Amino acid sequence: MRVFETDILIIGSGAAGILAAIEASRSCCVTLVTKGPCGRDGATITAQADIAVDGRSCKKILGLPEGDSYDSPNRFASDIFREGEELGNKKLIEIQTESIASAVAALRDDGLHLRGLFKNPGHTYPRSVWISAPELCFILRNKLKATQTKVMEYTVVCDLLTSDGAVTGALAFDRLSGTPLAVRARETILCTGGAMRIYPYATAPLGLTGDGIAMAYRAGAELLDMEFPMFLPYALLSPKMLEGATFTHDLAMLTNAYALNRAGERFISAWDPERMERTTRDINSAACGVEIAEGRGTPLGGIWLSLAHLPANIIEVMGNWFPEGLSRWRYGPFDLKNVLPDLSRDALETIPASHFWNGGVAIGIDGSASIPGLYAAGEGTAGLHGANRISGNGIGQAIVWGIRAGQSAASRVAKKSNARNAHPKVDLEQLDFIISNLFAPLERKTGVSPVDLARDIRSAAWKGIGLVRDEVSMRDFEKELSALRETAANQAARTKERVWNEDLLISLQNINMLDVASCVVASALRRSESRGAHYRKDCPYTEDFWDRSIKVKRGNNGFPLLALPDERKNTAGTGARRPYGQKKRMSS
């Protein structure tokens, strides 16, 4: 085992991680650890590539003439709070809407091309500034190279190290050499993204298994809003070569597409008769989920998405004005006209897929978690989105809070350095325990395949905490989780080498997925209503009593402890209800 020291340890190399490193490295020794190639791993590079900025700032700061001067950061904040069903932290939302324009302007000055402005569901004004995610990552990688940051690629963090209730670094594993690494750090920043891959249908890369959320939970940090994993409606189910592709969601937002059940009914009319398929993603996904659960779906278990009611020549020319990524009916290397059926005649089979993690590590206005020594930024942190994220706030969150966490952690290190504090101590017993668990699948001669277990976890999560929930299915899922945990304790890798052993990686991810799933089901059972990305068919209404976030913390027995923070107002006993998806009247 190798042991080394750093001022700041950053875990993850998407936009949040790289920007945190760039900021922190101005005054600190920084180490960035990523389980894939830096800037090419994680969700940022695969994003749909829009960043939400208020219209006035789009016009005045970014120079986009389409920006609406009547818009403002305050109006933008109001939309985030409303569409998040009033669970968002107003202070975090204000920081986001006030900071994003200048951050995007700095990236533009570094070469990021702003490709136009669009209006997406949930926004009162056009705010979605279209960019290229690969271009953004290229720019960030080059900026990172200009710093003194030590970058460790293909290195998996197994767990956070703690001492006296504070995070003191992490135990990692170099996949290329097979060597465990103990990193002692004054401050640690989690930028590890969400846990979308606990589900079988997901738009995120395979590595998004909730690693940072699970590690923070095990270290004793508080989590919030874990019952609100967000689904993107209308991800493609067929043809197989494009399964999971998301351009079909863009079709639903950009065109007059119809979502249909097996009877050919536009079922969305019962959920949002005004916006129909252009309603927000939470309502779209819940509506699709009910149709599928009640047996009105497609042969593959999804929903039909159709343009067949439109004249063929309109469909043909649509592609000329689609944004980059779908322009002229091209999607990556695919000419869609060659791989899809005739859209003037046939509908496409689609399904909502796990797309974003609204909850996660609870953070303060400086990006700090609830335990000393730990910060978090980007997706997988809680407080900005509440019960539902509106478009453009994914990359935007990573940018604003990556910068902020990097600056805050560096400031904290400076205070510690002035006090002449040494690097924190490492608990050797804890190190031995983590390493023993890490290599246990290599030692077992028999046991469950990590690949098979991952499949079983995802299948169970889809049924128990997927699109549509109820108490019976969630209680059944809790029981299944207990059995899956017992199985996870007997994972056995098919090959026994330490170097680049995929089973070893998956075995670690399985433990993280189980911890995350436990927090989701505990929170979802506690929230006896439907709100945002949490839809319960046994409680199909939204109740004022639940205008509050559910806090999750690990108990002494390893299972989630829950609390109801009530920092904004006392709604206990009001009992007022409204139909799911219907927003409250917001006071001016």
Q: Which of 124-133, 457-466, 534-543, 564-573 has the lowest mean pLDDT?
A: 564-573
Report pTM: 0.96
Tens of pLDDT, residues 62-86: 999 999 999 999 999 999 999 999 9
The residue from 334, 353, 372 where one domain ends is 353
Residue 54's SS3 state is coil
Q: What dihedral do alpha carbons 220, 191, 35, 506 form, nearest 10°?
A: 50
Using one digit for the tens of pLDDT, what is the confidence trace for 109-125?
999 999 989 999 999 99
User: Are residues 330 and 436 located together in one domain of the fold?
Assistant: no
**Are the C-beta atoms of 169 and 185 separated by less than 8 Å?**
yes
Residue 354, CA atoms < 13 Å, CB-side half-sphere = 27
CA angle, 477 as apex, 474 and 483 as ends, to 5°? 155
One domain for residues 237 and 343: yes
H or E segment to which residue 305 belongs: strand 303-306
Percent of the chain with pLDDT over 90: 85
289 in a structural domain: yes
pLDDT of residue 570: 54
When pLDDT is cut at 50, 70 and 90, the band that residue 333 belongs to is confident
Under the banding of pLDDT at 50, 70 and 90, the label for residue 38 is very high
- State yes or no: pLDDT of 390 exceeds 70: yes
Which of the four pLDDT bands, split at 50, 70 and 90, describes residue 200? very high
- Over residues 477-498, the mean pLDDT reads 97
Residue 540 lies in a domain: yes
Look-up of token digits 């909502």 = 352
Residues 40-62, mean pLDDT to the nearest whole number? 94
Q: Note whether residue 524 is domain-resident.
A: yes
587 pLDDT more than 50: no
How is 399-449 classified by DSSP, letter by letter? HHHHHHHHHHHHHHHHHHHHTTPPPPP--HHHHHHHHHHHHHHHH-SS-B-
The pLDDT confidence band at residue 298, using thresholds 50, 70 and 90, is very high
Contact 419, 478 (CB under 8 A): no
Residue 146 in this model has a pLDDT that exceeds 70: yes
**Beta carbons of 210 and 199 less than 8 angstroms apart:** no
491 with 444: CB under 8 angstroms? Answer: yes
Of the candidates 393, 386, 394, the residue with the CA atom closest to the CA atom of residue 534: 386
- pLDDT tens-digit profile of 91-101? 999 999 999 99
Q: What pLDDT does 244 receive?
A: 87
Same domain, 335 and 448: no
> What does the pLDDT read at residue 427?
86
Residues pairing with 480 in the sheet: none
SS (H, E, C) 101-126: HHHHHHHHHCCCCCCCEECCCCCCCC
- Please check whether residues 237 and 347 belong to one and the same domain: yes
Q: Are residues 436 and 326 in the same domain?
A: no
Is the pLDDT at 565 greater than 80? The verdict is no
386 Ramachandran zone, left/alpha/beta (phi>0; psi -120 to 50): left
Say if residue 258 is in the same domain as residue 344: yes
| Residue 422 vs residue 489, higher pLDDT | 489
User: With contact defined as beta carbons under 8 Å apart, do 349 and 240 qualify?
Assistant: no
Concatenating the DSSP letter of every residue in 133-202 gives HHHHHHHHHHHHHTS--EEE-SEEEEEEEEETTEEEEEEEEETTTTEEEEEEEEEEEE-----GGGSSSB
Q: What is the CATH number of the domain that holds 270?
A: 3.90.700.10
Across the range 332-342, mean pLDDT stands at: 89
Residue 305: give the domain boundaries.
232-353
Number of folded domains in the chain? 2
Q: Is the pLDDT of residue 571 over 60?
A: no
Asked if residue 186 is part of any domain, the answer here is: no
Q: Would the pLDDT of 238 be above 80? A: yes
Query: Which one of 287, 320, 353 terminates a domain?
Result: 353
- The whole-chain average pLDDT of the chain stands at 94
Domain for residue 371, yes or no?
no
Contact assessment for residue 417 and residue 473, using Cβ atoms and an 8 Å cutoff: no
The pair of structure tokens assigned to 30 is 């920084």
Judge whether residue 520 has pLDDT over 80: yes
Residue 562 is assigned to a structural domain of this protein: no
pLDDT tens per residue, range 391-400:
999 999 999 9
Q: Closest by alpha carbon to 229, among 198, 190, 272?
A: 198
Same domain, 345 and 237: yes
Q: Are residues 433 and 339 in the same domain?
A: no
The mean pLDDT of 259-286, rounded to a whole number, is 95
Sheet of strand 258-260: strand arrangement = 229-236, 348-357, 303-306, 258-260
**Does 78 map to a domain?**
no
The mean per-residue pLDDT over the stretch 17-23 comes to 98
The CATH number given to whatever domain includes residue 442 is 1.20.58.100
| 306 within a domain of the structure (yes/no) | yes
- Rounded to an integer, the average pLDDT of 131-137 is 95
